[in-house]
């Protein structure tokens, strides 16, 4: 068990180490301030982390990510279930959904800032609005293929509405919700950075914008690295255990 | 226990001009074990689903203790489906709790012991064999002490010894709780072994072509010579029964029963 764990860890580390080595080699070859070495980036990371205010900006961005992620997931799952369960609602909302999917994130962000002002609520709303349509699409697909046979079991045995929803209906959607959460997290934090770049005075996006003006690539990469590390931790501590929970009993959704 | 009166004029498949059932009319007394035997496509499962209020009713009526069915199950129903239909994400114990949330741990242990699944309560369905999953579905159906038990070919595709064991188990549990039973099967031997009465259905659209009481004293074992003799006599009288056709020398005395 431990040996296989170590093997898995080593296997995962190989591409990462290779990337770092190639990066370091290229930086040495190019010898340009626009292409800092691995060492320079880590020094910058250390400085920002312990002497600068990186932690504050990371925390602010993380809060925005979590808030907009939660709102997007809740609304997206709700609308997705409704559209999957009620064909008429789906017909009525489908063209709207296609439009929402294709409106550029940048446009939504600009409109939110113009209409609601450069405030926190506008930033969160802009991110959530960008993500909701993709959650709706994935959950709707799940709601369309729920196993009617299992729902019939609950109906015949007169299972209460709450237990019907949480024990029979919703578990069939978990794989779809999980897939949209996974893709959502990576998409949302990228959108949050744009939102911060355009209209906030703190957060990783704001900092990246500032460092871009000074062509401080080391700091840009240090911030990117730090936030990617946070997402990796979320993936390891929340997403993977959730995956295991959903796959209990070997259920991976309707094929 | 519940009595049933069924009088359906016709039932069509959704979005199809094909008639699947009717006219169809029969009654089931409270506590009676009735088997429905008929060829594939005779609408047996459709009929069970209509009784369970899983499919919309057709012109005509289904009455529970004289009261018409109004869109939801008319009494406490247990249904053993052709497939076990256990929730894959719930353990055996949680599958049972789903239909009876207030059940005690000891009662779960007791019912599982009764169906031969002692110590399996924490396993997920994927860890059980097909026969074991069916045992869980039998336990689930009897757990609620149903007034009406519907069975849709529950032992199909099981090996013979396993199916025999489960038939005995079903028989024991029925004797213990005495629900009214409607049992759909293709297997005439199975029907003779278990039922008080057998209703033979025609090919689609399903109609009752023969209503035959099984006047053989219980217990009835699978290798009981009385069952074989009864079957042979019946098929001599009505040779086309299993194809859903009422034909043969017995046709002359059909009103008298066997």
pLDDT of residue A255: 41
Tell me the average pLDDT across A31-45.
Answer: 90
Asked if the model's pLDDT at residue B255 lies above 60, the reply is no
Strand blocks (E) in chain A: none
% of chain A residues with pLDDT over 90: 69
**Chain B residues inside the 8 Å CB shell of A174:** 89
Of residues A219 and A189, more confidence is placed in A219
Check CB contact of A7 with chain B, cutoff 8 Å.
no
Q: What is the pLDDT of residue B214?
A: 92
Query: What is the mean pLDDT of the segment spanning B162-171?
Result: 87
Whether B82 and chain A come into contact, CB under 8 Å, resolves to no
Question: Residue B149 belongs to a domain with what CATH number?
Answer: 3.40.50.300
User: Is B227 an 8 Å CB contact of chain A?
Assistant: no
Rounded mean pLDDT, B119-144? 92
Residue B250 pLDDT more than 80?
no
> Cβ distance A127 to A68 under 8 Å?
yes
Answer whether residue B237 is part of any domain: no
- In this structure, which long-range contacts are made by residues B246-253, counting pairs with CB atoms below 8 Å and at least 24 apart in sequence? B246/B200, B246/B202, B246/B209, B246/B210
Q: Which of A55-69, A161-175, A176-190, B55-69 has the lowest mean pLDDT?
A: B55-69
ipTM: 0.87
d(CA B146, CA B22): 27
Q: Are the beta carbons of A153 and B81 separated by less than 8 Å?
A: yes
pLDDT at residue B61 in the model: 82
Q: B49 in a domain, yes or no?
A: yes
Report pLDDT for B224: 86
Q: What is the CATH number of domain A52-249?
A: 1.10.3720.10
Are the beta carbons of B43 and B201 closer than 8 angstroms?
A: yes
Residue A150 binned pLDDT confidence (cut-offs 50, 70, 90): very high
Which of the four pLDDT bands, split at 50, 70 and 90, describes residue B218? confident
Q: Is B7 helix (H, G, I), strand (E, B) or coil?
A: strand
Distance from the Cα of A202 to chain B's closest Cα (Å) equals: 44
What is the Cβ-side half-sphere exposure of residue A126, based on CA atoms within 13 angstroms? 32
Q: A207: which 2 tokens?
A: 């900092």
Does residue B76 sit at the A interface (CB-CB below 8 Å)?
yes
Residue A43 pLDDT > 60: yes
Nearest to B98 among A155, A163, A250 (CB): A163
**By the CB < 8 Å criterion, does B124 face chain A?**
yes
Task: State how far the alpha carbon of B64 is from the alpha carbons of B73, B135, B227, in Å.
Answer: 9, 28, 31
For B206, which DSSP code? Answer: B
Q: Is residue B232 part of a domain?
A: no
Q: How many domains, in total, are found in chain B?
A: 1
| Residue B82, domain extent | 4-167+174-212+245-256
Q: Identify whether B226 is part of a domain.
A: no
Confidence of residue B258 (pLDDT cuts 50, 70, 90): very low
Q: Does residue B88 lie within any of the structural domains? A: yes
**Chain A partners within 8 Å of B142 (Cβ):** none
pLDDT higher than 70, residue B135: yes
Half-sphere exposure of B241 (CA within 13 A, CB side): 25
Which among B98, B120, B125 is the top mutation candidate for probing chain A, defined by the most A β-carbons within 10 Å of its own β-carbon?
Answer: B98
For chain A, what are the domain ranges? Answer: 1-30, 52-249
Residues of chain B found within 8 Å of residue A153, distances taken between Cβ atoms = 79, 81, 85, 87
The backbone torsions φ and ψ at residue B206, rounded to the nearest 5 degrees and listed phi first, read -65, 125
Strand order in the sheet with B4-8: B24-28, B4-8, B60-64, B67-68
pLDDT band at B254 (very low <50, low <70, confident <90, very high): very low
For residue B242, what pLDDT band results from cuts at 50, 70 and 90? confident
Structure tokens at B13: 């498949």
Q: The tokens of B158 are what? A: 């099981």
Cβ atoms of B143 and B113 closer than 8 Å: no
Q: For B17-67, what is each residue's pLDDT tens digit?
A: 777 787 888 999 999 999 999 888 888 998 999 899 888 767 778 888 888
């Amino acid at each position: 068990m431990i040996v296989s764990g170590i093997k898995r860890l080593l296997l995962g580390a190989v591409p990462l180490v290779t990337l770092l080595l190639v990066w370091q080699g290229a930086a040495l070859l190019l010898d340009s301030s626009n292409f800092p070495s691995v060492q320079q980036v880590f020094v910058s990371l250390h400085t920002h982390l312990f002497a600068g205010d990186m932690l504050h900006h990371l925390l602010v961005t993380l809060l925005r990510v979590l808030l907009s992620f939660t709102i997007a997931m809740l609304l997206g799952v709700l609308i997705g279930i409704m559209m999957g369960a009620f064909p008429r609602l789906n017909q009525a909302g489908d063209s709207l959904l296609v439009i929402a999917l294709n409106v550029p994130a940048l446009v939504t962000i600009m409109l939110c800032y113009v209409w609601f002002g450069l405030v926190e609520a506008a930033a969160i709303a802009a991110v959530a609005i960008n993500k909701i349509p993709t959650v709706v699409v994935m959950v709707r697909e799940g709601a369309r293929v729920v196993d009617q046979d299992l729902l019939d079991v609950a109906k015949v045995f007169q299972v209460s509405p709450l237990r019907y929803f949480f024990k029979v209906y919703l578990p069939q959607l978990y794989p779809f919700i999980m897939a949209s959460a996974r893709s959502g997290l990576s998409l949302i934090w990228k959108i949050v950075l744009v939102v911060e770049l355009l209209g906030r005075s703190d957060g990783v996006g704001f900092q990246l914008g500032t460092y871009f003006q000074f062509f401080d690539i080391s700091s840009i990469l240090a911030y990117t690295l730090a936030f990617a590390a946070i997402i990796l931790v979320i993936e390891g501590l929340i997403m993977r255990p959730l995956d295991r929970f959903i796959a209990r009993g070997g259920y991976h959704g309707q094929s | 226990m519940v009595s049933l009166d069924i009088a359906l004029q016709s039932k069509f498949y959704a979005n199809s001009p094909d008639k699947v059932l009717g006219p169809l009319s029969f009654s089931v007394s409270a506590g009676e074990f009735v088997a429905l035997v008929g060829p594939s496509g005779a609408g047996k499962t459709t009929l069970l689903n209509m009784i369970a209020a899983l499919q919309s009713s057709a012109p005509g009526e289904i009455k529970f203790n004289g009261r018409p069915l109004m869109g939801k199950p008319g009494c406490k129903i247990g249904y053993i489906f052709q497939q076990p239909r256990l929730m894959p994400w719930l353990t055996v114990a949680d599958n049972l709790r789903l239909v009876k949330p207030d059940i005690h741990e000891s009662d779960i242990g007791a019912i599982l012991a009764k169906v031969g699944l002692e110590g399996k309560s924490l396993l997920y369905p994927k860890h059980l064999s097909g026969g074991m999953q069916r045992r869980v579905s039998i336990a689930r159906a009897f757990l609620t002490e149903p007034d009406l038990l519907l069975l849709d070919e529950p032992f199909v595709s099981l090996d013979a010894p396993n199916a025999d064991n489960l038939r005995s188990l079903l028989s024991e549990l029925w004797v213990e709780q005495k629900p009214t039973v409607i049992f759909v099967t293709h297997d005439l031997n199975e029907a003779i072994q278990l039922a008080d009465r057998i209703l033979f259905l025609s090919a689609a659209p399903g109609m009752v072509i023969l209503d035959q009481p099984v006047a053989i004293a219980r217990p009835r074992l699978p290798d009981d010579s009385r069952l074989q003799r009864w079957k042979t006599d019946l098929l001599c009288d009505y040779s086309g029964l299993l194809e859903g056709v009422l034909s043969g020398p017995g046709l002359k005395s059909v009103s008298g029963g066997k």
